A and B are shown apart, each in its own frame.
Chain A
């Protein structure tokens, strides 16, 4: 009899502790996985992810965001496994290193029942992600071309400095050329400057020696634009209404646009803060009373002196 009583008591305590366990497990765990920042844009992304983590965890005490960065695709695949087995995540926000090698690892996370948000680089199989957040590469090229057309006339000459030969670069370039086509603006030549200041400087020096008459430069990227500006100033060809259009949204560029720089009067946004957008949307998918799943393609906003302030983050490394 006494033993039975003890057993019941034990069972009761057990049940109680189980409920207690369940209560703590109700905290929502969201894993955030992205490449280790090795260049300025990615460093900006890392900073924005950390800011969003602080902000969202302060806003929702029952949400736990776990940030992990990985130096290469296979390390990222292992990191995803750890997020499932160690942290038992309910949702995953992932910016894949490469599409192909990470499609299966992300699919495995989905099979555990977690919600999937993919950022910027799509997976190679459709239908895995519940939410997709990305910048708009073709739109970035198109917006740049529209601005060029607004400043130039038929017969004016431009040169283009492209990025690293990749799909991203092709999408931007093709959309730019499609928009500029038929406007009468001559594209003298386009060369790869690899999203790099030094290459931007050297390619622009050569363009300047080669073409005596250039009216504007599409540098596509803020780093390239810095090299281009240095080359223009060296050759003393930074006057006469010459202008350079970059892209991405580097804080130094945004600052000089705010200050009314005439050589780099605008910038086209391709924001590293998109990771924060993705984290917000993922949290909203648990908290909002409206439907959230779907594709979010961010605008390639034209940043001018008027709206630059809202894109300026002086503490971010980018």
Chain B
């Protein structure tokens, strides 16, 4: 008897989880149908490639943000960090051109520095939150301001531009494609797979979830809480530097308007994907769908003139709320209980 109840319980549970996990995917499919109905060119190969390439920046950053948020933290500095790293990369590559010439070596040097800077910036955020015992919100709000003003300072208020000769070598990193898919999409796919494995198949991922659900319990369970939390910020920094490496060759420039509001887009992508903002539950797959949804909204709005330009923000806000409601709302539960 009890066996039977238990099995129906798990069955009901499974259905509920199914609807919830499918939420972001349903939202994305609905958006694509709407896009196609508005303009069939939406599903053209060119537009789909653009969409995926564009999602890569926010998507890669959001994979890192999934770890930070799952472990109960938050990182507001990613947009400014991307701008600052892009600025420093450009300065380094421009000055290295005299000695190394405009070749592969210069580009590799720039990318290497980008990764070091990302790891370092993430480590600073992590140490200040764990060892410094300052709330992540305040630490990263502070570093957000610092990085943003640094890039303004480096650029003398204007725009830093990559030397034209280097651009020729670096260009394929954004514009090139392998097996029909643009390079940024490949980077996005690799980051997503690594992120998924790290979150779902390693002790590190389980530790993040445990810390996010209850830090004290995690500490008593002999998890090195400070080290794991710092690691999440370092991973976030690495993701930001990877996103920057594929961003710089696009327009070859960085200014104070680079990466503005990326932090909010990344956090929105994570939450739309089903990760819980207060930590304890993270979904990399959902995050990737979330990033795709955000980019698709902007893309669709550019494809139609039905909606006033001034209402773009309204449409984006509505779709974000609906996408999250699809998986959080009581409707799934109520339905499951009734049946």
Q: Which residues of A does B touch, CB under 8 Å?
A: 37-40, 42-44, 46, 162, 165, 189-192, 196-198, 201-203, 205-210, 223, 226-227, 230, 234-235, 252, 317-318
Contact = CB atoms under 8 A, between A and B. Distances in A.
B159 A40 contact: yes
Contacts of A40: 155, 157-159, 255
Contacts of B258: 198
B217 interface: no
Contacts of B54: 202, 205
B309 A162 contact: yes
A50 B268 CA distance: 43
A90 to B, nearest CB: 29
Given A191-B302, A198-B250, A202-B302, 13 more contacts: A38-B157, A40-B157, A42-B157, A198-B257, A202-B50, A202-B54, A206-B302, A209-B47, A209-B50, A226-B253, A227-B251, A230-B251, A317-B158
B256 interface: yes
A259 B213 CA distance: 62
Interface in B32-62: 39, 41-42, 44, 46-47, 50, 54
B257 A209 contact: no
Contacts of B310: 165
A226 B41 contact: no
Contacts of A192: 309, 312
B253 A39 contact: no
A51 to B, nearest CB: 14
Given A42-B157, A46-B157, A252-B161, A206 B47 contact: yes
Contacts of B161: 252
B298 interface: yes
A253 B204 CA distance: 50
A190 B309 contact: yes
Contacts of A202: 50, 54, 298, 302
A39 B251 contact: no
A189 B305 contact: yes
Contacts of B156: 43, 317
B303 interface: yes
B250 A44 contact: no
A230 B46 contact: no
Nearest to B175: A234
B299 interface: yes
A190 B312 CA distance: 13
A210 B251 contact: no
A317 B302 contact: no
A22 to B, nearest CB: 40
Nearest to A36: B157
Q: Which of B42, B161, B255 has the most CB of A within 10 A?
A: B255
B125 interface: no
B298 A235 contact: no
23 contacts: A39-B157, A39-B255, A39-B256, A40-B158, A40-B255, A42-B157, A43-B157, A43-B158, A44-B158, A162-B309, A165-B310, A197-B251, A201-B250, A202-B50, A203-B302, A206-B47, A208-B46, A210-B41, A226-B251, A235-B46, A252-B161, A317-B158, A318-B158
Contacts of B251: 197-198, 201, 226-227, 230
Interface in B204-239: none
Nearest to A46: B157
Contact of A230 (B159, B250, B257): B250
A229 to B, nearest CB: 9
B152 interface: yes
A197 B148 CA distance: 17
Nearest to B174: A234
A208 B49 CA distance: 13
B227 to A, nearest CB: 36
B158 A196 contact: no
Contacts of A235: 46
A15 to B, nearest CB: 50
Contacts of B46: 208-209, 235
